[in-house]
Amino acid sequence: MTDLEKARQTINEIDKKMALLFEERMEVIKQVAEYKKNHGLQITDANREEIIINQNSKYIKNDDFKSYYINFLRSNIEIEREGFRGEMLARRQMPARPLHVISCRCRNGKGMCRISLENFALKICISTFLKSNILLLAAKEDT
């Protein structure tokens, strides 16, 4: 096995763990959504989101990765928000926006686009487009 194959195998193992943790997190998000619905709370809590981002980004020791991780967290929060909105709309028998969406943001925090992930696996890869100074979170097609 080459070094490249070993590295890819390690990435696959990490992706598997991330998928399991993602699923576990989404189950808890469902509980939060139900609580918010039952108590008439807003979907978005900007203060809580900033606390999550500030608190969790402290776990990243390599400063070169910190901004990427913050964007990763923001993308997760957006996915969770979309899922919550989708559940609320479904209860009203209205079509929800697609749930398979992630965001990309410029590294300086300005500008944003959305990417539909239909027909893609949940494997997420991070690509940096250095020339345009954009951090793009995109799905990798499962082949």
pLDDT at 89: 58
Which domains, from first to last, does the chain contain? Answer: 3-139 (1.20.59.10)
Helix, strand or coil, per DSSP, at residue 60:
coil
**pTM of the full predicted structure?**
0.58
Mean pLDDT over 107-126 rounds to 44
Average pLDDT of span 29-46: 87
Write the DSSP symbol of residue 93: T
128 neighbors 137 (Cβ within 8 angstroms)? no
- CA distances 23 to 18, 20, 122, 131, 134, Å, are 9, 5, 10, 34, 28
pLDDT digits (tens, 9 = 90+) for 38-93: 999 888 889 999 999 999 999 999 999 999 999 999 999 988 888 776 665 566 54
Buried b (16+ CB within 10 A) or exposed e, 20-54: eeeeeeeeebeeebeebeeeeeeeeeeeebeeebe
Q: How confident is the model at residue 97 (pLDDT cuts 50, 70, 90)?
A: very low
> Is pLDDT of 20 > 60?
yes
**What percentage of residues in the chain have a pLDDT greater than 70?**
58
Position with higher pLDDT, 34 vs 142: 34
Residue 116: pLDDT over 70:
no
**pLDDT at position 82, please?**
81
